[in-house]
Amino acid sequence: MIFDEEKYTLGERNIILRSAHEDEADMLIDYLKTVCGETNFLLVNPDEVKYTTEDEIKFIKHHNEADDSMVMLAFVDGVYAGNCSFTTRGSSRRARHRADIGIALFQRYTGFGLGRLMLED
Ligand SMILES: CC(C)(COP(=O)(O)OP(=O)(O)OC[C@H]1O[C@@H](n2cnc3c(N)ncnc32)[C@H](O)[C@@H]1OP(=O)(O)O)[C@@H](O)C(=O)NCCC(=O)NCCS
């Protein structure tokens, strides 16, 4: 699902939330390696992030094209700060309500309300 660009302010910071573009695949892989090293709350260590550019393009494409999944990027004052993704897990009618939510911000962008904004938006 494409998430059309939305603008917010959090204190002095200008926030943009929008879907990922396919040419941002490498940026997302680098980000994942960094955030996985900044916190133990994510599921893998940085050296276990093995996605290729092609894998990441597939991830972006899938989330942009599916009607029930989405990846949302956050930019703070024009700088990429992290993302939040919703990925459905069940294909049967009984399981269609199931979904994985992944959210991670670079550490320097945590603690001022961005995570809440992304989840509530
Ligand atoms: C978790 C994360 C997305 C939260 O975003 P954030 O912008 O830092 O959070 P916010 O400033 O919007 O805070 C929202 C609320 O969540 C709470 N919160 C934030 N991080 C928390 C954490 N790790 N554990 C418990 N509560 C947390 C805040 O205290 C705040 O609660 P309050 O409104 O009652 O004061 C962000 O800190 C992050 O990316 N952390 C590293 C990656 C991670 O842990 N991802 C989740 C893996 S399951």
pLDDT, tens only, 55-99: 999 999 999 999 989 999 999 999 999 999 999 888 788 988 899
Q: Is the pLDDT of residue 19 over 90?
A: yes
pLDDT attached to residue 97: 87
How do the domains of the chain map onto residue ranges? Answer: 6-114
pLDDT attached to residue 96: 84
Say what the pTM is. Answer: 0.95
- CA-CA distance, 85 to 73, in Å (whole number)? 9
One CATH from 3.20.20.450, 3.40.50.2300, 3.40.630.30, 3.40.630.20 for 6-114: 3.40.630.30
pLDDT attached to residue 89: 86
Q: Taking all residues of the chain, what is their mean pLDDT, rounded to a whole number? A: 96
Instruction: For residue 87, report the distance from its CA to the centre of ligand 1, in Å.
Output: 20
Question: Which ligand 1 atom lies nearest to the CA of residue 41?
Answer: 44
Please enumerate in sequence order all residues whose Cβ is within 8 A of that of 111, keeping only pairs 6 or more positions apart, or say none. none
Instruction: For residue 91, report the distance from its CA to the centre of ligand 1, in Å.
Output: 30
